[in-house]
Amino acid sequence: MADENRAISVDAIIIGGGLVGMTLALALSSHGLEVAVVDSADLNATLEASFDGRASAIANASAKMFQAIGVWPHLADVAQPIRKILVTDGDSPRFLQFDSAAIGDEPLGYMFENRLLRAGLMAAYRQSEGIRLHAPDRLVSWNRSSARVEAVLASGTRLVAPLLVSAEGRRSSLREQVGIRVAQWSYRQHGIVTTVAHEKPHGDVAHERFLPNGPFAILPLQHNRSGIVWTVSDKDGPAYMGLSDRAFLAELQRRFGDFLGKVELAAPRWSYPLGFIHAERYIDDRFALIGDSAHGIHPIAGQGLNMGLRDVAAFTQVLVESARIGLDIGSPDVLRRYQQWRRPDNVSSAAVMDGLVRLFSNDLKTVTFARRFGIGLVNRIPPLKGFFMREAMGATGKLPRLLQGERA
């Protein structure tokens, strides 16, 4: 093993180089902090179309952070604006429409295929300074003292930093190692994900249709394509995934409708179990959770990744401000500031999303009447409708400076 003098010293070690982990690395390095990112995957392989068929909605505020940290030039050409969101409930004639034109010139957000988001982040990394990427590699051991964290990788590389961050995702092994408990449950649903091509333009409109088994989302992508997130019950998921392309497309078209003309599959199908997870705390000695390592929600409103990006913006501001005045960025006081900023907001957002899942995955007559009445009510009250639009844009609450497009 390398001796102490050959250890690589950085300001933070980030375990996980996915969307949230790499964004955090880029945000910190753009403010002068040096970070190491460790991921067991070959990150170049994650850019392939066969790796992940998902697409993500990036809120307007999250896009402003990408602009502030220098990532947006690598994303602008593949960004699909969302200018309207149309919400319908089954066969009800009532609908709820959010139109960005009602509150300004900027879109509500942008749609990206996840692989193109990763490609943009990797392109920004290659032009950055201050990020040491160790991938494919993995953490094999680590220990904490009162002053620092020491980590040893499978390659034999030794890293030393005042702080270790888990951006591993929902199955974070580090979270378990430090003994942070989680609240979690399954929705007994699967999200079937694919991309379709259609004859007619989508007009920058995202559709959320609530069916008895769960939501059916049609999300605009570039080049007359849309991403599909189709929520089905656990018992039905394998059957739909087992259908031939022709039979699956027929089922899809029946729910999709004909408003965009003929629909064709433009990508393979993927299926993901849907559940809820939230950590009881986000921090430990010289250790922090971020993104899905701390919280995971149902994709009903497309806010899961944006919650993680808000974590990044707040965490970056806390660490950068602390470093500027000479504080130890891994100290309990600094980490508590991050937790106190982000955990209440995430708890609130997660509770709202969980309530929406239960409200809209239910065909009881009284519940159906109540939610359809609510949709109509929100549509008729401009201030309430404006609040929900600002929420979709990520522009409510105590915003970190990065989410306002400013440097931390």
| Residues 304-309: contacts with CB under 8 Å, at least 24 apart | 305/19, 305/20, 305/56, 305/57, 305/58, 305/62, 306/57, 306/58, 306/59, 306/61, 306/62, 306/394, 307/346, 307/349, 307/350, 308/19, 308/20, 309/20, 309/23, 309/58, 309/59, 309/62, 309/65
pLDDT of 315-356, one tens digit each? 999 999 999 999 999 999 999 999 999 999 999 989 988 877
From the CB of residue 374, how many other CB atoms can be counted at a distance below 10 Å? 14
What was the pLDDT predicted at 371? 61
**137 domain-assigned:** yes
Residue 156 belongs to domain spanning? 4-51+58-70+114-184+276-360+398-404
Residues linked to residue 210 through DSSP beta bridges, in sequence order:
89, 215
Confidence (pTM)? 0.93
* Res 374: pLDDT: 62
Residue by residue, DSSP assigns 138-206 as -EEEEEE-SS-EEEEETTS-EEEES-EEE---TT-HHHHHTT--EEEEEEEEEEEEEEEEESS--TTEE
62 part of a folded domain: yes
- Judge contact between 39 and 188, C-beta under 8 A: no
Neighbours of 128 (CB within 10 A): 17
Backbone angles phi, psi at 250, to 5 degrees: -65, -45
- For residue 101, what pLDDT band results from cuts at 50, 70 and 90? confident
The one-letter amino acid code at 119 reads A
Query: Is the residue at 238 inside a domain?
Result: no
pLDDT of residue 214: 76
pLDDT of residue 191: 94
Q: Does any domain span residue 158?
A: yes
Peptide bond into 136 cis (omega under 30): yes
Query: Per-residue pLDDT for 116 more than 90?
Result: yes
In this structure, is residue 252 part of a structural domain? no
Q: Which residue has the higher pLDDT, 397 or 184?
A: 184
Could you tell me if residue 371 is inside a domain?
A: no
Lowest mean pLDDT among 2-6, 18-22, 179-183: 2-6
Give the residue from 358, 379, 373, 374 showing the smallest Cα distance to 215.
358
Mean pLDDT of 158-173: 98
362: pLDDT strictly greater than 70: no
Q: What is the DSSP letter of 22?
A: H
Note whether residue 177 is domain-resident: yes
Cα–Cα dist 157/135, whole Å: 12
Lowest mean per-residue pLDDT among 109-118, 146-155, 209-218: 209-218
- Domain membership flag for residue 155: yes
CATH number, domain with residue 151 = 3.50.50.60
- pLDDT at 2 exceeding the cut of 60: no
On the question of pLDDT at 367 being above 60, the answer is: no
Q: How many domains does the chain have?
A: 1
> What average pLDDT does this structure show over 41-69?
90
- The answer, yes or no, to whether residue 302 has pLDDT greater than 90, is no
Q: What is the pLDDT of residue 274?
A: 95
Tell me if 81 sits within 8 A of 47, measured CB to CB: no
